[in-house]
Amino acid sequence: MNRLFPCFASRRIIVLFAAVFVIVVMSASEVFAQPAVRSFTPTTTAPSGSIVITGVRFTGATAVSIGGTPVNSFTVDNDGQITAVVACNNASGDVAVTTGAGTGRLAGFTLSAATLLVSSFSPTSGPPGTVVTVTGRGLHCITRVNVGGVAATRITTSIGSQTSMSFTVPDGAVTGALTLTSPFGSESASERFVVTIPAPTITGFSPTSGAPGTVVTITGTNLTGATSVNVGGAAANYTVNRDGTVSVTIPANAQTGVITITTPGGTANSGRTTFTVLPLPPTITSFTPTIASPGRTITITGTNLTGASSVTIGNTPATSFTVISPTMITFVVPATGNGVITVVTPGGRAISGGVLIVNPASVRVAEEYGMRIFPQPTTDYITLEYTLQQPAPVQMEIVNSLGVSVLTYLETQQGSGIHRATIQTKTLSQGVYFVRIYIGGKVATVPLQVIR
């Protein structure tokens, strides 16, 4: 009997240990087991509707999905219940709850369509950028809005509101149907949205003055789509730039005045700020004759000669002058004044390329001696060539357009025949000069042009 007691006690210990092990294992499995979904109600609902999910081990849930996609939101009411809000992109299928221990799911949910209805919208017209509010039904699931076939870029919907949403009229929109699209279909409003074009404004332009041909940049708002630009009442060529500014070329017939721009949205003008049209600078293309005696009439041809205030030869004013047309002036040669011809107008100063010789006697002498210089025009030197029929004393000098000597060469006795002399011109400034040769008692003159 005493020998049997230890054996009996050992069996009781083994049984007790086994029982404790089972309890510990069961407790551990309860702690780490994944959640289980037992039921949910309702089994059918539309987006934004709520369903109540019942089951076990919901505490610490990290995600709830329906039909494979997350719901809009969910609340863990207690370890055995979760309330979830159905999303627009949910689908019929399993309801699943996920915790750190795993995922429990139950099939059988049916997503009913959110019926789409557009009752009204306000405002019913406006330019791009207008915010439009739409009322109706099923508007919380809108994914696209078209205005006249152009998609809006900003759409605002609310989970809590199925009856209202808003969008912004996009750039490029045109008057047309207002169509809303959701995962459950599309619906158009019974009334068209009228896209209005905003009126243009001119805020400034630069430069504010210039001659015809000047390019002026106009700044403002809503200038895109410009159909005409006028400067002082004259139609002008223009370009609408990518940054919304407009570049306009001042036309030849423009007058000082306001700038106006017309677009499909209306007409804008620069108000009290006017563009000042300046006269074009004059030019002299030619004159004839190029050699004349005092009192003879010279004809100048060129451009933009209207309004000439003075005509000079060298620095000597013409005896008189007459503006015949914008391209022609005549003047009477003064007693002295070899040199270039200068015409001054409101647009500026024009200088002839050639020289007028007012002393024909000295020119005839130059021709008599075959006098010529080269190169012409020159920079650093010239070669002077002339022919003497018989020996004679020769002296040379260079004078400016005022007749003042700037270079003088000593008189030398030269024999008959062809003579050449190299004369340095490095020290002379750019301009028109005259080379003179005194041969015996005669004077020969040839014009010289120095360039730099």
**If you search the block for the tokens 């309801």, which residue do you land on?**
95
Which pLDDT does position 23 carry in this prediction? 45
Which pLDDT does position 29 carry in this prediction? 43
Find out whether 379 and 451 touch, Cβ atoms under 8 Å.
Answer: yes
Residues sharing a CB contact under 8 Å with residue 20, sequence separation 6 or more, in sequence order: none
With 80 as the cut, is the pLDDT of residue 260 above it?
yes
Find out whether 379 and 425 touch, Cβ atoms under 8 Å.
Answer: yes
Q: Tabulate helix, strand, coil % of the chain (nearest 5).
A: 10, 55, 35
> Lowest-confidence range among 29-43, 130-144, 311-325?
29-43
With 50 as the cut, is the pLDDT of residue 100 above it?
yes
Which pLDDT does position 413 carry in this prediction? 92
Who has greater pLDDT, 189 or 5? 189
Q: How many CB atoms are located within 10 Å of the residue 15 CB?
A: 10
Q: Three-class SS of residue 11?
A: helix
d(Cα 236, Cα 247) in Å, to the nearest integer? 10
Which pLDDT does position 235 carry in this prediction? 96
Express each pLDDT in 119-170 by its tens digit: 999 999 998 889 999 999 989 889 999 999 999 988 988 766 789 999 999 9
Annotate 106-123 with DSSP letters as a single string. EEEEEEPP---EEEEEE-
> Lowest-confidence range among 2-11, 346-355, 437-446?
2-11
Query: Among residues of the chain, what percentage have pLDDT more than 70?
Result: 91
With 60 as the cut, is the pLDDT of residue 13 above it?
no
Domain 360-450 has CATH 3.40.50.300: no
d(Cα 361, Cα 372) in Å, to the nearest integer? 16
> Lowest-confidence range among 235-249, 252-266, 325-339?
325-339
With 50 as the cut, is the pLDDT of residue 279 above it?
yes
Q: Three-class SS of residue 369?
A: coil
Q: How confident is the model at residue 26 (pLDDT cuts 50, 70, 90)?
A: very low
d(Cα 349, Cα 211) in Å, to the nearest integer? 14
With 60 as the cut, is the pLDDT of residue 2 above it?
no
Express each pLDDT in 382-440 by its tens digit: 999 999 999 999 999 998 877 788 998 888 999 999 999 999 999 999 888 888 899 98
Amino acid at 17: F
Annotate 277-306 with DSSP letters as a single string. EPPPPPEEEEEE-SB--TT-EEEEEEES-T
- Average pLDDT, whole number, for the chain? 88
Supply the pTM of this predicted model. 0.51
d(Cα 316, Cα 44) in Å, to the nearest integer? 107
Fold: same for 201-277 and 360-450: yes
Q: How many CB atoms are located within 10 Å of the residue 166 CB?
A: 19
With 90 as the cut, is the pLDDT of residue 75 above it?
yes
Going from the C-alpha of 174 to that of each of 200, 251, 327, 450, the distances in angstroms are 18, 34, 53, 67
Q: How confident is the model at residue 1 (pLDDT cuts 50, 70, 90)?
A: very low
The third-level CATH classification (topology) of the domain covering 117-195 is Immunoglobulin-like (2.60.40)
* β-strand pairing of 194-195 with 125-126: parallel
Map out the domains of the chain as residue ranges: 36-111, 117-195, 201-277, 283-356, 360-450
Consecutive H or E run containing 320:
strand 320-325
Averaged pLDDT for residues 56-71: 96
Q: Find the distance separating the first CA and the last CA of the chain, reported in whole Å.
A: 143
Q: How confident is the model at residue 445 (pLDDT cuts 50, 70, 90)?
A: confident
**Which structure tokens are listed for 150?**
């152009």
With 60 as the cut, is the pLDDT of residue 379 above it?
yes
Q: How confident is the model at residue 25 (pLDDT cuts 50, 70, 90)?
A: very low
Query: Among residues of the chain, what percentage have pLDDT more than 90?
Result: 65
Domain 283-356 has CATH 3.30.830.10: no
CATH class of the domain defined by 36-111: mainly beta
Averaged pLDDT for residues 261-284: 94
CATH classification for the domain delimited by 201-277, as one of 1.25.40.340, 3.30.930.10, 3.10.20.30, 2.60.40.10? 2.60.40.10
